[in-house]
Copies of this chain bind each other. A is one copy, B any other.
């Protein structure tokens, strides 16, 4: 049972995952249908279910590969770097994720919004990482290298503000028009964080 992994198998599997990402991120788990995903992947429905045993299995496969990607920029926060530069770099990296992986952001948002029924397994690891990095930021604050702020709410600010541009894309575009909002968003976030963090 150690999958041989033909080239054609690999190709179909990734086509399915890409199509499922499109469909799940737009319609949510319940709202998505296997038929939609199969059509988007260029396969028939039974053929799709030859590669994945169920609709839920595809969803799990997507989610489990997602959390790591999502937390990577935070992992890179360096306790020995320059505090403000490190936090700005983190926020910029997170904003790049929203710009480059909006579907993944919306998949994640859909899941958390509905109580994270299939994701809550990942929360302990998330908490561990956030606790660790929050402690780094707190140390910076206590040593006076940055302003005295709550590190957890700072992290929430960065999450909320960056993910907003991916998750609420239609609303952002309804207000701003269809020009790329990311350059100005990056500039604004930079301004906010510099002001917030300066001792």
Shortest distance between the CB of A173 and any CB in chain B (Å):
9
When all copies of this chain in the complex are counted, the total is 2
CB of A31 closer than 8 Å to a CB of B: yes
CB of A178 closer than 8 Å to a CB of B: no
Shortest distance between the CB of A82 and any CB in chain B (Å):
19
Known: A174-B126, A174-B127. A149 touches B28 (CB 8 A): no
Secondary structure dominating the interface of A: helix
Size of the A side of the interface (Cβ < 8 Å), in residues, is 52
Check if A150 sits within 8 Å of B184, measured CB to CB.
yes
Check if B175 sits within 8 Å of A127, measured CB to CB.
yes
Which of B115, B168, B196 is A195 in contact with, Cβ under 8 Å?
B196
Check if B116 sits within 8 Å of A188, measured CB to CB.
no
